[in-house]
């Protein structure tokens, strides 16, 4: 997998994140990991009705991303034992990280 360069005007806000709940959706996670490449059109979507965490953010494929930030896929791994790892970073505009942190 090739990790895309950080776009001009962006910086890393979060360095190494992995989606929660992969073990509950292994087939979907494995399909994603097998097809993942660079930016791959990841989308972050707030999940305020999540019964486990009202601050949860869903990582999905598709239609854009939260206005301020952008996910950057950095690694995928599928082990022989069924272990799946998906790692990504959160990027945002330079000079605005405090806004993100205070969000």
Q: Which long-range contacts (CB under 8 A, 24 or more apart) does 92-97 make?
A: 92/10, 92/11, 92/13, 92/68, 93/9, 93/10, 93/11, 93/68, 94/9, 94/10, 94/11, 96/68, 97/11, 97/13
Q: Is the pTM of this model over 0.75?
A: no
CATH of 10-102, one of 2.60.460, 3.40.50, 3.40.630, 3.30.70: 3.30.70
Ranges of the chain with pLDDT below 50:
38-39, 61-65
Reported as a single tens digit per residue, the pLDDT across 52-71 is: 888 787 766 444 435 678 88
């Amino acid at each position: 997998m090739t990790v895309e360069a950080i776009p001009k005007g962006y910086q890393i806000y979060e360095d190494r994140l992995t989606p929660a709940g992969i073990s509950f959706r292994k087939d979907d996670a494995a399909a994603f990991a097998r097809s993942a490449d660079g930016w791959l059109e990841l989308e972050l979507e707030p999940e305020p009705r999540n019964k486990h965490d009202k601050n949860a953010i869903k990582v999905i494929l598709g239609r854009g991303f939260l206005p301020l930030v952008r996910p950057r896929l950095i690694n995928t791994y599928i082990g022989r034992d069924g272990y799946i790892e998906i790692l990504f970073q959160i990027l945002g505009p330079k000079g605005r990280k405090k806004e993100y942190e205070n969000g």
